[in-house]
Structure formats: structure tokens, C-alpha cells
Amino acid sequence: MLKKNLTFIGVLMVMVFLIAAPATAQKVRGVTDTEILVGQWGPQTGPAAPWGAVARGTDLLFKIINEEGGIHGRKFKYYLRDDSYQPAKTKAIAKEFVEQIGVFAVVGGIGVATGMTARDYLMENKVPWYAPITGVYEWISPIQKYLFAQYPLYDDEAFNLTGYLHEKLGYKKIAMFYQNDDYGKQGAQGVERYLLRKKISLVAKVSAEMTDRDLSTHALKLKNSGAEAVIMWTMPTHAALILAESAKIGFKPQWATSNTLSDSALMMQITKGLWAGMINSFALELPDSNLPLMVKYREWHKKLAPQERWGTFYYAGIAFAEPFVEGVRRAGRDLTADNWVKAMETLKDWKGISSPITFTNPMDRQGGKHVFYGKVKPDGNIERLTDWIRITK
Amino acid sequence: MDIKRNYYEDIELFKSNTILVWSILFLIFLAFLPWLITTYRPLGLSIYIVNLITIHAIVAIGLNILVGYTGQISMGHAGFFALGAFTAVILIVRWSFPLWIALPIAGFVSSAFGFILGLPALRLKGPYLAIATLGFGMTITTIIKHMEFFGGRMGLQAPKLYLFGTPMKDIHYYYVIMIIAVLMTIGAVKLIKTRVGRAFIAIRDSDIAAEAMGVNLTYYKTLAFAVSAFYTGVAGGLYAFILGFINPESFHLIMSITFLAMVVVGGLGSIMGSIAGAALMTFLDIKLQAIQDIPAIGPALVIFSEKYMSIAGISNVAVIVYGLIMILIVLFEPLGIFGFWIRNKRYWKTWPF
């Protein structure tokens, strides 16, 4: 009996320890003389956990900046919270960020449903939010003063990719394979938008459900259409399945896909080498890029977080936080939410390790408008085909 | 003191004046809770978390009627929850119903589906029923996902609600949710005490014996499902509005299992236990994310997790602690939190013996 009561007391003690430290009164929320408080949510556990690397990548960037002495005498204090990809938790985290920790800004954050529960709340409280990591219209329309988006729009990306295949590479018969959800549909929409303009039609439009595991009929449909090039807008699993099925029936078109599947090291592994030859669009520099900034980050990565894989998701966490930091730098010592917004609006073709970022038009909060194309080599490395190409007008 | 002389004495809501006084004091406490929270922030709570707890408590009460009192099982309550949420939002967005009409309709839509799900329950038992309900929960979200009417996979934005012309904030929702929760709790207590509840309990203890005594199994089993789904549907409607945005992927299998865990941890066959279970599980689920901020223990756990666990680090510890607390409670007290309560009450009552 005593034992049982002890467990109960133990539970109570855990709860008491969870009392959060009260936020101290200050002029600007989350900005003190020596610190800037920044938060991010990301799934560290649960089915979406692989994407959690993004939030940990952001941690690396803040550590690097702190090691280099911070910005205008302030260092970043970074709060990473695991929302397990559950919207109810995300909203609780957003409230914790604002009401209890008192962060200056929120950076990144993966997922549409999760982010949408927090969007209006953050905006009402004038919390700057930089770069939710999905390419949908919800972030940029209607315009929110404190919300800046970077991830290229799927629709525009697909539009431009189709143009590249048709005009530069001369493919006439193009087919589309996509996953039947918002992500896939926006891709299909972009492809059709381009073809409609050129007055040609898709030779085949094949969709798969998320839960489909047998794609042999899908592959057969694509083969029978006689397509020379197939654009796919899917998640990694489906990409691997359709490539395997097509190879089995001897269908070898030119494949092309979005930057969502740009982790070619991973894709080569799960497709057992079939990924070679893929034309891929990229929104970030390549992992082995010789860009001085990339070299620098890779060195810090070895020093500060050697246990992490230098994968696309991980350094995307850096890429999607860099422009935010640049905004803080430009806002100067007198950092407020409004000053930060003004500073962000001076960014013009600003270049970190992602595409050039521009926010000079206050009526346009879509910062990333460029991708480049690359072809996957048989060894899994990328042969860069183009320079940065503007995809959004 | 505990002797009942007739049926009407037994179904009294307040068995004694002591209980009446304490209940009133508790209601006064609930009325002042938001003030307490915003002033002192006990346990790092926010009104949003309390709202979430209250909504989960409504679900847990509904599920307990089914699982704890009628002895059926459901692993598909996230489906009813989703139905309630989507119905309420669509009624308000498309046909501009007021909330106080939309919520009961959301409840009744859910309970209609609960009735349908109750039909196979007449023939299925134990694990077979669990699988059937599990399938139901997953089917509902899949159907919603594929219908543009429900916003498809993208989901729906819940409209902002206004109270006397001002947009509703957490604190307004608190009172709306709390009043509904209190009414529904009283409803559940009454239901269990009267004829219907007794029929449920008879079915739980032995359905053949119950039928022999004249309990109509078809009627009461489907009724249990319908009532349970009604509670969950209403809670789902409220959930949509405190979240502000819903999409079908949010109502997954894990959610159904969490609901079931709330009931088991709280105490099967106990209304108070349902509330306690919902409160504890919701609180831990949200607050354990900040486990690294606990003084002294937190940093030590961070170092430990970085050394011995995967790179996601501290989040793993949070999940383990969450699971451990659940296991410990069920292991040491099969009646759940309600069991602790009974035991401690008895201990103090008979003290010093």
C-alpha cells in the first residue's frame, strides 16, 4: 500500500517539476540584452519522424552563429518541441512559445494541418514566423504581415519542370504519375497548366492512393500510353514502387520529379539504383556542393553534430532559417517584430544555401521562386544541368 | 447512511448534503479556474490545455459508458470524433448554423453512425469487435479524405466564432466547453443510475443472464454505441473550434487508442475516473515535450538520451516516461486513478485503524 502511494506521489512530483519558469517582463517579447528566443516544432517521434531532422538542422545553424559570437551582441536560444505531427499538440506548443516561454519568432515547422492550427494565433499575437516547410498557397494568401514563406510552390515547380522537358529536352509525349492528395494534385495541376498553354495534352494521367502497394497496373497504363517522359509527384515509397514495376515490364522513359524527392542518396538506396537518370529539381544546394557556405556548414556539422547524417532534410533546417537570421542581422540592435519585417522586406536575391530569396514586394510573401535541374548519375551524385531558374512570376 | 429504501432514493444525484456542498464548491472552483491559471500558471497550464482536457474528458465519459459500463470495446472513436468535428464545421461554414444548434446535430450525426456500428456489435465480441470498430474509425477518415465536400485531404478551416460581437478567445471557449461538459457529466451519472444504465451493467456482467431477465440486447447494445458516439461527436465539434483547423489525418488510429488508454488509466466503469484519466493523459502528453526544462533532471536526461538513444534524443525519453506512467498505474492499480481515490478515501476514513 505504501508502495502504491509512493508511485502516486512520484507521478505528482513529475507534474510539479513541470512548472514552467515564468516569463520575465521585457520590452520586446523574446529579446533580451544578451539573447533572442526562437522556437520551432517538428515531429521527432511518430510516423513523420524522419522529417524531424529539419528542426535539428536549424539547431545546428543557431549553434554555429552563437559560436561565432551571435548577432549584435545577442545569442540565439532555441526551443525545439516535438509535436509528433499532431495538430492539437502543435497548437499547445504555439501557445507555450508565446504565453510561457515568450519567443521572439518561430522558424520552420513541418506540415500543413499542424501549421494551420497555429497560423492565426501566431499572427494575432504578432509573432514573426519564417518559412513553414511546405509549398502550399495557405501561407501566402491571404498575405500575413508576420509570415514569410520560402518553400517553392508545387504548382509553379511542376509547370516549369514540364516546360524544361518539353522545350529544352524536346519531349513531346509526356505522362503524369501522381499521388492522389493535395501535394500530388498541385503537381498535376502545374503540369496540365503548362501543356494547356502549349495546346498539347497529357498522354496519360495516372494517380495512386497513399495506401496502394501494388502499382503494376499503373506502370502498364504508363507504358501503353507510349510516353517518352513521365513526371512523378509522389512520396518516396511510391517512387520506388513505380520504378521497380516499370523496370519489370521494360518501360524506360525519362523520369522527372520534384525537389521533395531530392535526397538522391536515400532514393538510390530504396530504388536499388533505379533512381539513376532521374531529372530532379532542387531548391537547395547539393549536399557535396563546393559553395563556401556549404563547406563551412559541413565543417561545423562534423564538429558540433557528428551523429547526424548530412542529408537533405538536415541541412534544409539550415537553409530555411538562414534568411530569418539575415533579417535579424539587418534589423540591427533595436530588434522588434516590425523592424524585423522591414528588414526582411529589404532582402533581394539574397543567397544562402537555398535559392535566391526576395521579399522586396510587400504584397508578395513567397521568397523562394527558383529551382535548378540536375540529373542523377549512376553513382548517386548529381550532374547539375542548369543554373537557378525562376519558376514563380 | 448507505441504506437505500427505494429506487428514487438511489437515483438521487446528490446522495447527501456533504456531496452537494462539495459539488457546489467544485463548480465555483471551475468558474474561477481561468483566473487562477492566468494569474499563477500552476503546472505551466494554459487555458487552451484545460479546454483540451475538458474535451477529452467528454470523450472519455462517452467511451466509458461503452467500455466500462456496457463491456463493449471501441477502437474507432477517433472516427466519431472526426464526424462531430467535420459536421459542426460544415454546418457553420456552409449553412451558417449557430454553434448551439450545430453541436447537438454533430452529436446526433455521430450517434447515427454509432447506431450503425452497434449492429455488428450484437454478434461480435472481444477482439473481433475491436477489429470491426478499428476498421470503422479508419474508414471514416478515408472517406472524408476523398470527398471534396469535406475539404479533402487538405482539411477545413473552422470559422471564427463571435460572442456578442467580439471574437471568441480561449477563455470564452472555456466557459462554453465547461458548461457543456458539466451538463454531459450529470447526464452520464444519471444515465448510469437509472434503468438504462442498469441494463448496460447487466449486459457487461453477463449478456445471456441480462437477456434472460428481460433486457433487450439489440436495443441496449446499439443504444450504448449511440450514446457513446453522441458524447464523442459533441466533443469533436468543440475540438474543431479550439483548434481552428481540422484535416482527416489528425484523427488517426493513435487517437482512438489514446482515448481508450484514458478510460483504462482513469478507471473502467467510473465517471470520475474518466475525467481524471483524460486530465492526466492529456496533460502529460503535452507537457512532457518540455521535459528538458525540468530543473536538474532535465539536463541529465538530455545528456543520457544523446549518449544512449537515437538522434531524436530527448523526445524519446518523453515517450518512454509517458508509457511508463501508464504501465505503472495499470500495474499497481487495475482500477486506475479511480482506484487510488477509493483506496485513499477508505484509508483516511478508517484512520487510525
Least reliable range by pLDDT among A114-128, A326-340, B134-148, B159-173:
B159-173
CB contact residues (below 8 A), chain A span 199-238, against chain B = none
Nearest CB to A82 within list B152, B154, B289: B289
Instruction: Cell numbers for B201, please give them.
Output: 451493467
Query: Under an 8 A CB cutoff, do A182 and B153 touch?
Result: yes
Please tell me the total count of domains within chain A.
2
**Which stretch of DSSP H or E encloses residue A6?**
helix A2-17
Buried b (16+ CB within 10 A) or exposed e, B310-340: ebbbbbbbbbeebeebbeebeeebebbbbbb
* A238/A219 Cα distance (integer angstroms): 11
Please report, as a single letter, which amino acid is at residue A151. Answer: Y
Write the residue in B250, B291, B321 that is nearest to A86 by C-beta.
Answer: B250
Give residue for cell 499575437: A125
Q: Let me know if domain B46-350 sits in CATH 1.25.40.
A: no
Task: Give A375→chain B minimum CA distance, Å.
Answer: 31
Residue A12 has pLDDT above 70, yes or no: no
Shared-domain flag, residues A165 and A259? yes
pLDDT 10s digits, A272-315? 899 999 999 999 998 888 899 999 999 999 998 888 888 888 99
Residue A228 Cα, gap to closest chain B Cα (Å): 31
Specify whether A269 is located in the same domain as A309.
Answer: no
Statement to judge: residues A216 and A295 lie in one domain: no
Residue A298 forms part of a structural domain: yes
Cβ of residue A181 closer than 8 Å to a chain B Cβ:
yes
Question: Both A59 and A124 in a single domain?
Answer: yes
User: Which of A22, A56, A100 is nearest residue B311 as measured by Cβ atoms?
Assistant: A56
Are A69 and A184 members of one domain? Answer: no
Identify the CATH number of the domain in which residue A72 sits: 3.40.50.2300
Identify the helix (H) or strand (E) that includes residue A208.
Answer: strand A204-208
Co-location of A194 and A259 in the same domain: yes
Would you call A19 an interface residue with chain B, using a CB distance cutoff of 8 Å?
Answer: yes
A216: in domain: yes
Could you tell me if A270 lies within 8 Å of chain B, comparing CB atoms? no
Find, in chain A, the residue whose alpha carbon is nearest to that of B317. A45
> What amino acid occupies position A101?
I
Please give the residue that has the higher pLDDT: either A334 or A11. Answer: A334
Residue among A197, A193, A191, A196 nearest A206 (CA): A191
User: What's the burial of A393, exposed, middle or buried (CB within 10 Å: 0-12/13-18/19+)?
Assistant: exposed
ipTM, interface predicted TM-score of the complex? 0.82
Query: Across chain B, what does the average pLDDT equal?
Result: 88
- Alpha helices by DSSP H, listed for B194-296, are 195-205, 207-212, 217-243, 253-266, 271-287
Asked if B41 lies within 8 A of A22 by C-beta distance, the reply is: yes
Grid cell locating B126? 472481444
Neighbours of B347 (CB within 10 A): 12
Q: Given strand A35-42, what is the order of strands in its sheet?
A: A75-82, A35-42, A105-107, A129-130, A147-148
In a domain, A5, yes or no: no
Among B247, B138, B251, CA closest to A183: B247
For residue A174, the SS3 value is: strand
Range of the domain at A147: 29-152+291-362
- Are A203 and A312 within one domain? no
**CB distance A116–B245 less than 8 Å?**
yes
Is B293–A21 a contact, with Cβ atoms under 8 angstroms apart? yes
The lowest-confidence range among A94-108, A138-152, B188-202, B300-314 is: B300-314
Read off the C-alpha cell for A393: 512570376
Q: Does A102 share its domain with A225?
A: no
How many Cβ atoms from other residues are within 10 Å of residue A338's Cβ? 13
Cβ of B247 and A87 within 8 Å?
yes
pTM score, whole prediction: 0.83
Over residues B171-214, the pLDDT tens digits come to 889 999 999 999 999 999 999 988 999 999 999 999 899 999 99
Residue B189: count other Cβ atoms within 10 Å of its Cβ: 16
Residues of chain B positioned with their CB less than 8 A from the CB of A81 = 289-290
> A143 and A193: one domain?
no
Mutation for testing the B interface, residue in A4, A95, A136 having most B CBs under 10 Å: A4
Q: Name residues 100-159 of chain A within 8 A of B (Cβ).
A: 100, 112-113, 116-117, 119-121
Query: How do the domains of chain B map onto residue ranges?
Result: 16-45, 46-350
Q: How far does A88 lie from chain B, in Å, by closest CA?
A: 7
User: Are A309 and A190 contained in the same domain?
Assistant: no
Q: Is residue A34 part of a domain?
A: yes
CB contact under 8 A, A17 and B321: no
